[in-house]
């Protein structure tokens, strides 16, 4: 589904991503771990089009996407929550969910002008879809609530709902478990499993090894901008190179 070849992203002289290559198989949940500063977030941002790569190739479903604008990558089905504008505090959960761009006819001036009926039908379809998605993540009863009144965990669920509105094929999640209490974490993990069972593909950065072990296979390990190894969660946890990287004795 995704092939990254020799990807480099430099900031000034710093090689945040330093020649990374890997392949993501469709319908997998792949984990990405590594110590702070390893380059994980930079790798995500470069894949999603928020950073232009210094060099290298990114092929998504057979099509090169390196250097494309984030919204074009988003519309191709590769979604990272950052590509979507942040939720508006003063809008409801339903409104925030409905505003995710999904090629809505209502966005286009000519359509608004000449095809009001079609736009209205499209808006109804969008609303129905948003309600389904909120139902799926368990926020249906909060659809009319202002986004600012949601707890941190509920905001994570809203983020997931908004990602799903885009009808993604590959979802990049950066630390979905961060700042989430254990019962909500169980809910989020359940939702990810269910989406995976329905055929979605995920790449997940996460520090919580429990989440990684329960959901992800394979697991990629980054250190100092490079891919250190990949393997099953058990293989990764038992590998001395990985322990070394976390302890700061980084390999060259
Ligand atoms: N926009 C940026 N400008 C300059 N340096 C950056 C930028 N983003 C990240 N870096 C640097 O790149 C390296 C990798 O950071 P990051 O990708 O955030 O690592 P991780 O997500 O694995 O903790 C770090 O040294 C960080 O300071
Ligand atoms: Mg990070």
Cβ 93 under 6 angstroms from ligand 1: no
> What percent of the chain clears pLDDT 90, i.e. is strictly above it?
62
Q: What is the mean pLDDT of residues 28-35?
A: 96
How many A from CA of 92 to the centre of ligand 2? 29
Say what the pTM is. 0.88
When comparing pLDDT for 155 and 11, which is higher? 11
Q: Where in the chain is the domain with CATH 3.40.50.300?
A: 25-43+68-84+168-252
pLDDT for the residue numbered 250: 47
pLDDT for the residue numbered 101: 67
How many A from CA of 36 to the centre of ligand 2? 7
For 82-128, what is each residue's pLDDT tens digit?
A: 766 677 889 999 999 998 866 444 445 555 566 667 777 878 888 99
Cβ 11 under 6 angstroms from ligand 1: yes
In this structure, the strands spanning 55-60 and 63-64 are: antiparallel
Q: Which residues neighbour 27 within 8 Å (Cβ) at sequence distance 6 or greater?
A: 196, 199, 200, 201
Dihedral sign computed on CA atoms, order 160, 162, 165, 167: negative
How wide is the angle at C-alpha 127 spanned by C-alphas 191 and 163, nearest 5°? 35
Note whether 216 and 204 are within 8 A (CB): yes
| pLDDT of 229 strictly over 80 | yes
On average, the pLDDT of the chain sits at 89
Cα end-to-end span (Å), the chain:
30
* Residue 182 CB-half CA count within 13 A: 1
Structural fold of domain 25-43+68-84+168-252: Rossmann fold (3.40.50)
Q: What is the mean pLDDT of residues 190-219?
A: 93
How many A from CA of 37 to the centre of ligand 2? 7
- What backbone phi and psi angles, to 5 degrees, belong to 61? 50, 45
pLDDT for the residue numbered 110: 53
Cβ 80 under 6 angstroms from ligand 1: no
For 197-209, what is each residue's pLDDT tens digit?
A: 988 999 999 988 8
pLDDT for the residue numbered 194: 93
Distance, in Å, from the CA atom of 136 to the CA atom of 31, rounded to the nearest integer, reads 23
Q: Among 10, 16, 20, which is best to mutate for testing ligand 1, by the most ligand atoms less than 8 A from CB?
A: 16
In which band, very low, low, confident or very high, does the pLDDT at 23 lie, cut at 50, 70 and 90? very high
| pLDDT of 12 strictly over 60 | yes
For 35-53, what is each residue's pLDDT tens digit?
A: 999 999 999 999 999 999 9
């Amino acid at each position: 589904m995704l092939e990254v070849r020799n990807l480099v992203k430099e900031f000034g002289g710093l090689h945040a991503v330093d020649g990374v290559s890997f392949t993501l198989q469709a319908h997998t949940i792949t984990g990405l771990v590594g110590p702070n500063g390893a380059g994980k977030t930079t790798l995500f941002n470069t894949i999603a089009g928020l950073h232009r790569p210094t060099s290298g190739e990114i092929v998504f479903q057979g099509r090169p996407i390196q250097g494309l604008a984030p919204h074009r990558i988003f519309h191709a089905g590769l979604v990272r929550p950052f590509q979507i504008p942040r939720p508006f505090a003063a809008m409801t959960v339903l409104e925030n969910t409905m505003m995710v761009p999904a090629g809505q006819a209502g966005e286009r001036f000519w359509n608004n002008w000449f095809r009001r009926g079609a736009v209205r039908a499209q808006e109804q379809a969008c609303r129905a879809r948003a309600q389904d998605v909120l139902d799926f993540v368990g926020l249906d009863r909060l659809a009319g609530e202002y986004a600012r009144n949601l707890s941190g965990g509920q905001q994570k669920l809203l983020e997931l709902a908004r990602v799903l509105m885009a009808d993604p094929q590959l979802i990049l999640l950066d630390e979905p478990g961060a700042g989430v209490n254990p019962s909500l974490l169980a809910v989020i993990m359940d939702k990810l499993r269910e989406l995976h069972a329905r055929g979605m593909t995920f790449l997940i950065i996460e520090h919580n090894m429990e989440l990684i072990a329960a959901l992800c296979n394979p697991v990629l390990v980054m250190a100092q901008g490079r891919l250190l190894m990949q393997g099953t969660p058990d293989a990764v946890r038992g590998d001395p190179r990985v322990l070394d990287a976390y302890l700061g004795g980084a390999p060259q």
